[in-house]
């Protein structure tokens, strides 16, 4: 039987993992943890700053450390950074230690949601919208093989209440 103490939400930037994660945690009476917040807090600086000063490889190592640390937690909903499942065998760890849900969303829809948030997301930085859409489509394609390993795939376009109740039923039947 799957460990239901850890519920992982995975998916591309802007797919709403944190918002859904908070609502889900409340409905389950679980704690909520966002890996980006966890890393930023531990480092005492923003994710953008970590990327800029230390580079992506360093950030991915911090993600791996954060993941290993949180595996011991009980009753926690984890919103992972968009890239986390796709590096350093993290998806394997996620699958072995909890129930995972992929919030699937089309690149065009994600772009609309991310347009005004570029400065908080170091990988998006200065790209204009047309370039960004192409870049996102390419990245999503590369990452798909990891995201698709989730235990359940959800339509990220649905509203939060619907997703929370869908996840609740999947947890019960798992
Ligand atoms: C990243 C996604 C971000 C954050 C970092 C890198 C990625 O998290 O971890 O900017 O590689 O997709 P969100 O998905 O929470 O925006």
Q: What is the dihedral of CA 71, 74, 75, 79, to 10 degrees?
A: -20
Q: What is the mean pLDDT of the chain?
A: 94
pLDDT in the model for residue 132: 86
pLDDT at 129 over 80: yes
161 within domain boundaries: yes
CB of 85 shorter than 6 A to ligand 1: no
Look at residue 127 and tell me if it is in a domain: yes
82 falls within a domain: yes
Q: Does residue 44 sit within a domain? A: yes
Is residue 157 assigned to a domain? yes
CATH of the domain at 159: 3.40.50.300
Contacts of 46 (CB under 8 A, 6+ apart): 40, 120
The stretch 28-36 carries a mean pLDDT of: 98
Separation of 120 CA from ligand 1 center, angstroms? 9
Confidence check: pLDDT of 130 > 90:
no
pLDDT greater than 80 at residue 37 = yes
**Does some domain include residue 107?**
yes
Predicted local distance difference test score (pLDDT) of residue 154: 97
pLDDT score for 131? 87
Domain count, the chain: 1
If one compares 157 and 1, the residue with the highest pLDDT of the two is 157
- The parent domain of residue 155 ranges over 6-173
Ligand 1: centre distance to CA 172 (Å): 29
Give the pLDDT confidence of 57-116 residue by residue, as tens digits: 999 999 999 999 999 999 999 999 999 999 999 999 999 999 999 999 999 999 888 887
Indicate which atom in ligand 1 lies nearest the CA of residue 39: 9
pLDDT digits (tens, 9 = 90+) for 103-127: 999 999 998 888 877 777 878 877 7
- 40 domain-assigned: yes
CA of 124 to the centre of ligand 1 (A): 10
Q: Is residue 1 part of a domain?
A: no
- Nearest ligand 1 atom to alpha carbon 18: 15
Share of the chain above pLDDT 90, in %: 82
DSSP string, 30-77: -EEEEHHHHHHHHHTS-HHHHHHHH-HHHHHHHHHHHHHHHTT-SSEE
Whether 32 shows a pLDDT value over 80: the answer reads yes
Between the alpha carbon of residue 162 and those of residues 2, 158, 169, 172, the distances in Å are 23, 7, 11, 16
Say yes or no: CB of residue 47 within 6 Å of ligand 1: yes
């Amino acid at each position: 039987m799957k460990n239901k103490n850890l519920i992982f939400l995975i998916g591309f930037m802007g797919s709403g993992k944190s918002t859904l994660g908070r609502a889900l945690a409340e409905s389950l009476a679980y704690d909520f943890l966002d890996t980006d917040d966890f890393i930023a807090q531990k480092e005492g600086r923003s994710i953008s700053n970590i990327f800029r000063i230390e580079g992506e490889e360093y950030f991915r190592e911090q993600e791996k450390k954060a993941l290993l640390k949180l595996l011991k937690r009980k009753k926690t909903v984890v919103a992972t950074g968009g890239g986390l499942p796709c590096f350093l065998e993290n998806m394997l760890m996620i699958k072995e230690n909890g129930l995972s849900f992929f919030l699937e969303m089309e690149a065009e829809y994600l772009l609309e949601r991310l347009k005004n948030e570029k400065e908080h997301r170091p990988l998006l930085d200065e790209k204009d919208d047309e370039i960004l859409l192409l870049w996102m489509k390419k990245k999503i394609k590369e990452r798909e093989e990891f995201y698709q390993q989730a235990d359940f795939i959800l339509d990220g376009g649905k509203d939060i209440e619907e997703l929370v109740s869908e996840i609740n039923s999947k947890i019960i039947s798992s």
